[in-house]
């Protein structure tokens, strides 16, 4: 019998499944409740063990909440995960279960490869998912819930994702309003780590952009709003400073980036205001982003030297161009990932056969050595004929016994023909 310990993947692949929800299968309101924080992982992993799930790795991001693992019965995987994810938030598992996707075996492996390569993300090519999966796998290993199957699969998935990054342009070009704004800001100022920003108002898009500047680039941000309490609360949410609109003129002097998201339907910044600020800034460039409809910033600001104004229409155009470019690269990336999955599964399947092949070779070489010892003076032709007879004796007798007891099925015959390249007419020679 084959030594299946040589290939843990193929030993357990039929029970390996990925179960979860993502941005396509589940409403945001439900998915947000299912989010699993790092500190909640031990509880989730204990629950998985109670249900008999082995080698479990939860993954929880803004796009998805899913669990990869070896299930006692993959047919029950949806029910198990629904119960575990719903328990902490008092959600009815019967509501969640129909929303859960389930991938089993090779399909589960393929799913993890696609996720790692950001081909399953809302924004194809986004870089965050690879780091999130690495962190999820690291946590699973630290909690001793990973194992040979998950380790092998994730290692190969990460390598495939790196190949996609190296050999395609899937991550190039801004694909969101915020990304487009940051791209232009870098064109104007270079390294954003040396800039300062002002956020006017508390609109959602403005908050997203300000948060990315602060969290990703360390850019100091000051939030200004007509209502002081609102400015304070918004600033606190992103770790920024705050103030009122009364301080706008002074804030503009220090601001390299101005994000306007007031949305009150009246002009907040004029050509004259920006002109005066630039004089005091000694004409250091200022980048302005108007995220409101109707506009907060007078379009004539663009006439001021060293003032660079972009509105939603400008940014949407840039984002659309980026999305189209990534879609074109995504097809090449998918082919690359599919090939990597096929290689991985093929390599693993080869490992399970290797011990048996080695034993067969050793057995046949042993028969040859015995024959040579018994009859050292045989000609090559006679030795070959006698060796072939001895090799065929055991299998032939076994096949005849199977036939005599009506146990020689089509599968056995088909396997025999495939192994030795036989056709039906040659089968009578046995």
Q: Which of the following is catalytic: 26, 62, 86, 295?
A: 62
62 is catalytic: yes
**Distance in angstroms (rounded) separating the CA atoms of residues 351 and 318:** 49
Residues 117 and 127: their CA atoms lie apart, in Å, by: 9
Determine how many CB atoms are found less than 10 A away from the CB of residue 33. 15
Q: How does strand 64-70 pair with strand 16-22?
A: antiparallel
What sign results for the dihedral spanned by CA atoms 367, 370, 372, 378?
negative
DSSP 124: T
Angstrom CA distances, 332 to 164, 345, 346, stand at 9, 20, 21
Beta bridge partners of 66: 20, 59
Separation CA 171–CA 322 (nearest Å): 9
Helix, coil or strand: residue 191: coil
Quick check: helix, strand or coil at residue 147?
A: coil
* CA dist., res. 289 & res. 296, Å (int): 10
Question: Alpha-carbon distance 175 to 118, whole Å?
Answer: 14
Catalytic residue numbers, as ranges: 62
């Amino acid at each position: 019998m084959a030594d299946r310990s040589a290939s843990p993947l193929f030993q357990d692949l039929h029970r390996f499944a990925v179960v979860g929800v993502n941005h396509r299968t589940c409403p945001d309101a439900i998915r947000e409740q299912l989010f699993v924080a790092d500190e909640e992982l031990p509880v989730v992993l204990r629950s998985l063990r109670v249900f008999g799930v082995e080698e479990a790795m939860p993954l929880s991001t803004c796009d998805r909440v899913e669990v990869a693992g070896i299930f006692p019965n993959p047919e029950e995987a949806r029910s198990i995960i629904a119960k575990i994810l719903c328990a902490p938030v008092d959600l009815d598992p019967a509501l969640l279960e129909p929303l859960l996707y389930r991938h089993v075996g090779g399909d589960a492996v393929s799913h993890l490869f696609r996720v790692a390569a950001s081909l399953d993300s809302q924004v194809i090519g986004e870089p965050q998912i690879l780091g999130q999966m690495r962190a999820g796998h690291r946590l699973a290993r630290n909690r001793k819930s990973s194992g040979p199957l998950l380790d092998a699969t994730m290692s190969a998935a990460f390598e495939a994702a790196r190949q996609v990054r190296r050999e395609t342009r899937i991550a190039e070009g801004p694909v969101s309003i915020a990304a487009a704004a940051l791209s232009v800001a870098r064109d104007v100022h270079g390294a954003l780590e040396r800039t300062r920003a002002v956020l006017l108002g508390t609109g959602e898009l403005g908050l997203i952009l300000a948060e990315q500047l602060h969290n990703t680039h360390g850019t100091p941000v000051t939030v200004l709003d007509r209502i002081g309490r609102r400015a304070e609360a918004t600033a606190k949410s992103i770790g920024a400073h705050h103030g009122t609109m009364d301080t706008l003129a002074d804030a503009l002097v220090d601001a390299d980036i101005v994000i306007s998201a007031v949305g009150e339907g009246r002009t907040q910044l004029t050509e004259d205001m920006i002109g005066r600020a630039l004089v005091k800034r000694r004409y250091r460039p200022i980048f302005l982003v108007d995220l409101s409809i109707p506009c907060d910033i007078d379009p004539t600001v663009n006439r001021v030297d060293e003032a660079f104004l972009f509105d939603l229409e400008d940014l949407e155009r840039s984002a659309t161009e980026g999305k189209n470019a990534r879609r074109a690269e995504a097809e090449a990336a998918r082919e690359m990932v599919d090939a990597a999955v096929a290689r991985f599964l093929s390599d693993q399947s080869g490992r399970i056969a290797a011990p048996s092949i080695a034993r067969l070779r050793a057995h046949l070489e042993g028969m040859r050595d015995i024959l040579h010892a018994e009859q050292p003076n045989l000609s090559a032709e006679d030795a070959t004929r006698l060796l072939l007879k001895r090799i065929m004796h055991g299998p032939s007798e076994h096949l005849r016994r199977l036939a005599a007891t009506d146990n020689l099925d089509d599968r056995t015959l088909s396997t025999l023909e495939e192994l030795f390249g036989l056709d039906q007419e040659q089968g009578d020679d046995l």
